[in-house]
Amino acid sequence: MKIFKYLKSLIIALKYRFCIEEILCARFPNIVFIKGIKGYIVFCPRCGEYVCDDGTCSNPFCPERIEN
């Protein structure tokens, strides 16, 4: 079951990586396993927000770095 969740997140990361808008971003998205939800989350390499299922970043101002 865990391998299927990873493959799903890998497909989302590939959608993000090969999106026409993000083709200039040379870094691959970060895939992180979260124990609390028992699943993987794909994070944008540019701003750190999560990547939605359709392969787009959830941050509308994506090049802007989010600081805590």
Per-residue confidence (pLDDT) for residue 35, from 0 to 100: 92
Q: Give, for all 68 residues of the chain, the pLDDT tens digit.
A: 889 999 999 888 888 877 655 555 567 888 999 999 999 999 988 888 888 888 888 888 776 655 65
Written in H, E and C, the secondary structure of the chain is CHHHHHHHHHHHHHHHHCCCCCCCCCCCCEEEEECCCCEEEEECCCCCCEECCCCCECCCCCCCCCCC
Number of domains in the chain: 1
The domain of 13 spans: 1-68
